[in-house]
Amino acid sequence: QVQLVESGGGLVQAGGSLRLSCAASGSMFSINAMGWYRQAPGKQRELVARMTSGGSTNYADSVKGRFTISRDNAKNTGYLQMNSLKPEDTAVYYCNAAIRHRGVFSTYEKDYWGQGTQVTVSS
For residue 71, the model assigns a pLDDT of 94
* Span 32-88, pLDDT tens digits: 999 999 999 999 999 999 999 889 999 999 999 999 999 998 999 999 999 999 999
Q: What is the predicted pLDDT for the residue at 101?
A: 92
Distance CA 53, CA 31 (A): 7
pLDDT number for residue 11: 98
pLDDT of the residue at 104: 84
Q: What tens digit of pLDDT does each residue of 80-112 get?
A: 999 999 999 999 999 999 999 988 888 999 999
